[in-house]
């Protein structure tokens, strides 16, 4: 029994000695894995610490992208003009003896505005009138004789011809006499009295200005490159800056002829009758050349330019995201974007100057 016990102790000691190296290897392996994990943890912590140190919060303004109407315009400067705005001139050279109207007076077509010195014509008419009486008397006497079968047919016809010639001369002189009156060719208002009593006038020299304020229009010129883009009836906006008034109407007329000197063509827009409209007032003509009822637009000020093209910033889960865009047309401080944005995007409209992708956004919603 004693031997058996001793043998058992020897075998147990040998077994213990054989397992000790295996445990040591396992321990060393676990320590190595622990060191590796500690190194990885330290690297991740360093990265997170660095990211936390560089992350910024930037205050910006956001605007929600929503489809809307976008229009592009051809814009030119024009003026208000009267359809009937007449400088009245004299028909003959003479001296003005009287002026029968004053500025602001309403006149009718054919009404006398001024009288010219017509003494010479009046004298000629008086002389012809005396001659008329004489030839008429001879004609009537010759006709009475003819009725009594006295005299010849030639004598009668001669007397009749003389009488009728004098009548025609008087009609001519009366027509000449009418030219010594300056009359208004239209109904309207005397806007300016240029003539003065005693002034000598000649044909073509302006003496009065008469304006009909019921027929006003805006006139302007567009460059010939737009002639295929504009037609009568197109929508147009007329801005009258002095009145702070904008009129939305349509083109009344588009000229078919290009001026060879200015390389432009005329357009007209008729105005409604309003007392505040006056000839020669400044007007801005905006002809609608393009319309998109479902356009995505952004303020031009929000667009930035990089080496690869245009881009904007949007909010992506309160982080700045740089989005490349394609701009089609621009007008009035806005640009139509055909690619890059979609309805619902939150556009950064202010605070983007020093913004980097990934920056945290402190936002305030703004209306565009």
Average the pLDDT over 1-5 and give the result. 46
Average the pLDDT over 17-23 and give the result. 61
Average the pLDDT over 237-261 and give the result. 92
Burial of 277 (0-12, 13-18, 19+ CB in 10 A): buried
For residue 100 the two structure tokens come to 């029968």
Q: What is the pLDDT of residue 144?
A: 85
| Model confidence, pTM | 0.56
- Say if residues 81 and 271 touch (Cβ distance below 8 Å): no
Q: 57-68+294-365 architecture in CATH? A: Beta Barrel (2.40)
Q: What is the pLDDT of residue 99?
A: 92
Name, in order, each residue with C-beta under 8 angstroms of 366's C-beta and a sequence gap of 6 or more: 61, 62, 63, 349, 350
- Tell me where in the chain the CATH 2.40.420.20 domain(s) lie: 57-68+294-365
pLDDT of 280 above 50:
yes
pLDDT tens column, 204-233: 889 999 998 888 999 999 999 888 888 899
Q: What is the pLDDT of residue 2?
A: 44
Q: What is the pLDDT of residue 52?
A: 46
Q: What is the pLDDT of residue 367?
A: 52
pLDDT of 16 above 80:
no
Of 120, 115, 131, 97, nearest to 173 by C-alpha is: 120
Burial of 41 (0-12, 13-18, 19+ CB in 10 A): exposed
Average the pLDDT over 307-335 and give the result. 87
Average the pLDDT over 247-255 and give the result. 92
Q: What is the pLDDT of residue 47?
A: 55
Q: How confident is the model at residue 7 (pLDDT cuts 50, 70, 90)?
A: very low
Q: What is the pLDDT of residue 288?
A: 86
pLDDT of 141 above 90:
no
pLDDT tens column, 70-113: 888 888 999 999 888 889 999 889 999 999 999 989 999 999 99
DSSP 233: T
Cite the DSSP H helix spans in 114-256. 119-147, 153-178
Average the pLDDT over 161-186 and give the result. 83
Name, in order, each residue with C-beta under 8 angstroms of 301's C-beta and a sequence gap of 6 or more: 333, 349
DSSP run (H or E) holding 6: helix 2-54
Q: What is the largest CA-CA distance in the chain?
A: 207
pLDDT of 14 above 70:
no
Q: Report strand pairing: 360-365 vs 57-64.
A: parallel
| Rounded-to-integer distance, Cα 267 and Cα 113, Å | 34
Q: How many residues can be counted in the chain? A: 368
DSSP 163: H
pLDDT tens column, 39-73: 777 666 555 544 444 557 888 888 888 999 888 88
């Amino acid at each position: 029994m004693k031997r058996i016990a001793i043998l058992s102790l020897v075998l147990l000691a040998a077994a213990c000695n054989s397992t000790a190296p295996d445990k040591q290897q396992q321990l060393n392996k676990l320590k190595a894995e622990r060191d590796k994990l500690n190194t990885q943890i330290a690297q991740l912590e360093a990265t997170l610490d660095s990211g936390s140190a560089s992350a910024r919060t930037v205050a910006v303004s956001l605007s929600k992208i929503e489809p809307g109407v976008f229009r592009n315009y051809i814009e030119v400067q024009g003026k208000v003009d009267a359809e009937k705005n007449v400088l009245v001139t004299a028909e003959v050279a003479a001296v003005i003896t009287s002026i029968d109207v004053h500025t602001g007076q309403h006149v009718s077509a054919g009404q006398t505005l001024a009288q010219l010195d017509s003494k010479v014509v009046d004298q000629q008419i008086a002389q012809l009138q005396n001659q008329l009486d004489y030839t008429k008397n001879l004609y009537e006497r010759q006709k009475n004789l003819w009725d009594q079968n006295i005299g010849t047919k030639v004598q009668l016809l001669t007397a009749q011809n003389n009488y009728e010639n004098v009548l025609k001369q008087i009609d001519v002189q009366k027509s000449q006499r009418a030219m010594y009156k300056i009359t208004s060719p239209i109904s309207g208002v005397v806007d300016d009295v240029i003539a003065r009593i005693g002034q000598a006038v000649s044909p073509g020299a302006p003496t009065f200005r008469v304006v009909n304020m019921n027929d006003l229009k805006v006139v302007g010129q567009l460059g010939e490159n737009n002639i295929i883009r504009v037609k009568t009836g197109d929508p147009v906006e007329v801005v009258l800056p002095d009145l702070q008034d904008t009129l939305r109407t349509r083109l009344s007329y588009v000229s078919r002829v290009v001026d060879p000197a200015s390389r432009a063509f005329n357009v007209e827009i008729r105005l409604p009758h309003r007392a505040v409209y006056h000839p020669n007032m400044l007007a801005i003509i905006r002809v609608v050349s393009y319309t998109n009822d479902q356009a995505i637009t952004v303020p031009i000020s929000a667009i930035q330019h990089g080496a690869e093209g245009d881009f904007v910033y949007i909010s992506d889960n309160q982080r700045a995201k740089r989005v490349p865009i394609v701009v089609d047309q621009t007008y009035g401080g806005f640009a139509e974007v055909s690619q890059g944005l979609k309805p619902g995007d939150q556009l950064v409209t202010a605070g983007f100057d020093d913004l980097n992708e990934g920056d945290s956004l402190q936002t305030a919603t703004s209306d565009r």
